Amino acid sequence: MTAALANYHARMQRVLDHIDRHLDDDLDLDAVSGIAAFSKFHFHRQFTATFGLSVHRYVQLARMKRASYRLAYRTAHSVTDIAMDAGYDAPDAFARAFRQRFGQSPSSFRKSPDWEPWLAAFGPLDIARSKIMQTNYTPDSVTIRDMAPTPVAIMEHRGDPATIDATIQRFIAWRKATGLTPKTTPTFNVFHSDPRTTPPAEYRMDLCVGTDRPVEAKDERIEVGTIPGGRCAVLRVVGHIDNLEPAALYLYREWLPASGEEVRDFPLYCQRVSFFPEVPEHEAVADLFLPLK
């Protein structure tokens, strides 16, 4: 990539970061183009040419994604509040737009989300972001830590990775019911399967809460276990952490062969350090752990 192209992408990246951070503000063309220091007379075409979406469409999708997360995972927000935060003047207008996009009313989605049309609806947003969000990891991105054993409560997800959001929703509801919130207890995922090579029906991932106190199942199937201590290669991923596969691929394909290290008999796992929509999506953080001998 040339220096000029890298600079152009950096200016566009500032725009996406600004949008994510200011979804509640007036994101008109003048304000957004000024972030990138581009002329407002050309910026709309530049943005669309780069991302395949207009500025208005991108902002709409970003606001709707945050709204859908708040509906599914944060029950304290009313539908009216969520509608206003998504830029709609009235709940009925929000409900019509939501149903048109996802095939469910906001209330129905809150109770029982249908994640397949949800994933399809945000495909254009994910594709737009991937245009310039290719992170180039280097050996300096990886640190080696000696980890202490971590006792955890485990909810297993088994089945198609496309249905993981339903398990996450149950996991969050169970955490709220037991008081094991992310603010007071750490969150881990243990990746027993590679989604690229495992048949969907056999895919397995553990959703874990770090805790050493007695665990209440609250009508869920909860197991108790331990993430073992030991040396780990750690790669921090910042922003849009729904897909950790590029980071995992870097560890296995590039870092591990060049490091001279050997892996230990425990799966790849991550700690979710901060979450969207608690923080803007580009500020979410996950640490990916590769256990070493």
3-class SS string, 45-80: HHHHHHHCCCHHHHHHHHHHHHHHHHHHHCCCCCHH
The answer to whether residue 5 scores a pLDDT higher than 90 is: no
The answer to whether residue 244 scores a pLDDT higher than 80 is: yes
Q: Which pLDDT does position 255 carry in this prediction?
A: 97
pLDDT > 70: percent of the chain: 98
Give this prediction's pTM: 0.80
Q: Which pLDDT does position 280 carry in this prediction?
A: 85
Contact 228, 187 (CB under 8 A): no
Q: CA torsion sign, 8 to 242 to 174 to 183?
A: negative
Type of residue at 200: P
Q: Which pLDDT does position 77 carry in this prediction?
A: 80
Confidence of residue 250 (pLDDT cuts 50, 70, 90): very high
CATH of 3-130, one of 1.10.3720.10, 3.40.605.10, 2.60.40.420, 1.10.10.60: 1.10.10.60
Confidence of residue 135 (pLDDT cuts 50, 70, 90): confident
Domain spans of the chain? 3-130, 139-291
Segment (H or E) for 208: strand 204-210
The answer to whether residue 269 scores a pLDDT higher than 90 is: yes
The answer to whether residue 74 scores a pLDDT higher than 80 is: no
Contact 222, 153 (CB under 8 A): yes
CA of residue 236 relative to chain centroid, distance: 14
Q: Does 139-291 match 3-130 at the fold level?
A: no
**Mean pLDDT confidence for 169-176:** 91
Mean pLDDT rounded to a whole number for the chain: 91
**Mean pLDDT confidence for 58-67:** 93
The answer to whether residue 134 scores a pLDDT higher than 70 is: no
Segment (H or E) for 290: strand 285-291
Lowest mean pLDDT among 130-134, 148-152, 232-236: 130-134
Contact 75, 34 (CB under 8 A): no
127, 166, 188, 267: CA torsion to nearest 10: -80
What is the CATH number assigned to the segment(s) 139-291? 3.20.80.10
Q: CA torsion sign, 198 to 269 to 135 to 282?
A: positive
The Cα angle at residue 39 between residues 37 and 40, in degrees rounded to 5:
110
The answer to whether residue 76 scores a pLDDT higher than 90 is: no
Q: Which pLDDT does position 133 carry in this prediction?
A: 65
